[in-house]
Amino acid sequence: MKPVAVTALEVAPRAKPSILPGPFAPLFEGREKRALGDVFGLTNFGINLTRLQPGGKSALPHAHARQDEFVYVLAGTLTLITDGAATTLTAGMCAGFAAGSGVAHHMENRSDSEAMYLEIGDRTRGDQVSYPHEDLAASMGEDGAWRFTRKDGSPL
């Protein structure tokens, strides 16, 4: 039976820092995610409590075709990068990215102390993710698993 309430920081962090393949995964050593939505068996949307160490990055710059994303900063200072523009986010600030907007985004912790934020996104099957600065593409299958290829569809 799934719990109805938990202490978020007591949820175990994900074992792997990233689902990205090969050379991309080590780029996220300074990131810790706790999959809060999974604890409750949520299937329509996910919620991660994410801790980003100084120098850490949330993700590669990316844009979703079918999934909405939302972040809410709980503590610390983050730099939101959207298509080359930088915006400082502090505790209490939030940002959202509508599916299909094409706005490539990610966050960096350029400060001297850790930052913590909630990231919330839907789990729409058939999503595709573009990574404008890398020869990388992702698609979510009907089984909910992500598959990564080069932009031309060839294997990595």
pLDDT per position as a tens digit, 39-96: 999 999 999 999 999 999 999 999 999 999 999 999 999 999 998 799 999 999 999 9
Q: What's the whole-model pTM score?
A: 0.93
Cβ 116 vs Cβ 74: under 8 Å = yes
Fold of domain 28-128: Jelly Rolls (2.60.120)
Burial 39-75 (b: 16+ CB within 10 A, else e): beeeeeebbbbbbbeeebbbbbbbbbbbbbbbbebee
Q: Determine the Cα angle at 94 with ends 39 and 135, to 5°.
A: 80
DSSP reduced 3-state for 57:
strand
